[in-house]
Structure 1
Amino acid sequence: MASLLKRLVTWWDGDSIGTRLFTSRFGNKVGEDAQGNVFYSNADDSRRWVIYDGDNDATRVDPEWYGWLHHTFKQPPTEAPLAHKTWEKPHQTNLTGTDGAFLRQGSIRRADVKPASDYEAWSPE
């Protein structure tokens, strides 16, 4: 019951009931990306949207699909895939603020930081 109520009134923790109803009534499935996100458009292609697989995080949308969602590309990547460069890397989640975040050497947040050995505290004699 709590999950149903949560779906009725929230959108940030997945799609809402309203989004599901709108999608079932007006949505045409266009495709799916490697992360499991499903992309839809309406009949005249004036509206495009995504239902995320997991948390609603726009950084999880691939660049091809992002371009299609924002009407930069007329055809979805399923019909007209973009050519990828050899230097392009796969998406990595943003770990800022988590235990997996990158910390420079010498950062006081790192566990392996040792006190400086070139310093001696002055003590009056």
Structure 2
Amino acid sequence: MSAIRLFFARLTSRKVGADEFGNVYYESRKPMPVYNRPRRLVSLARGLDSSSVPPEWHAWLHHTTDAPLSGPKHPWQKPHRPNMTGTPGAWRPAGHDYSGGRRRITGGDYEAWTPGG
């Protein structure tokens, strides 16, 4: 969020909360005339990486829920991670050039198709 937009958000909105990534969430004090509901916005802590918004806040931002989701976390739930594409933490399959591996040799069961053959 730009400095000017953040300044106006602080003037016209109230702070609702923050998450573990440092993102701060705001809700306008007055409802928007067209939608008849308050505008919700987020000040991202890490530039423009909107994938750092966790699911409970994403639902609140898009007016799916009235309050950020809270409640017990199940043991099978993993903590939220931002999109790692393009970073050293990105997933790379076995044999990828960047992971230093070697691809497996293909089995001898492939036969190329030839027309009319």
Counterpart Cα distance in 2 of 1:75 and 1:110: 42
1:36 aligned counterpart, secondary structure = coil
CA apart distance, 1:98: 2.9
Residues 113 and 23 of structure 1: CA distance in aligned 2, closer, same or farther (over 3 Å): same
Q: Which position in structure 2 is the counterpart of 1:76?
A: 68
Q: Among 86, 89, 112, which residue is 2:78 paired with?
A: 89
Counterpart Cα distance in 1 of 2:68 and 2:97: 46
> Paired residues, what number?
99
CA apart distance, 1:76: 3.2
- Which segments of 5 or more consecutive residues in structure 2 lack a partner in the other structure? 32-37, 106-117
Counterpart Cα distance in 2 of 1:114 and 1:41: 51
Residues 6-49 of structure 1: CA deviation (Å, up to 9, x unaligned): xxxxxxxxx21321221121010000101111000011351000
Partner amino acid, structure 2, of 1:97: G
Instruction: Tell me which stretches of 4 or more aligned residues in structure 1 moved more than 4 Å.
Output: none
1:40 aligned counterpart, secondary structure = strand
Counterpart Cα distance in 1 of 2:104 and 2:65: 54
Counterpart Cα distance in 1 of 2:68 and 2:82: 23
Residues 20 and 101 of structure 1: CA distance in aligned 2, closer, same or farther (over 3 Å): closer
Using structure 2 for the length normalisation, give the TM-score. 0.70
Residues 86 and 20 of structure 1: CA distance in aligned 2, closer, same or farther (over 3 Å): same
| Greater share of residues in strand | 2
RMSD: 2.3
Residues 115 and 47 of structure 1: CA distance in aligned 2, closer, same or farther (over 3 Å): closer
CA apart distance, 1:97: 2.5
2:14–2:26: 8 Å Cα contact kept in structure 1? yes
- Which segments of 5 or more consecutive residues in structure 1 lack a partner in the other structure? 1-14, 117-125
2:10 aligned counterpart, secondary structure = helix
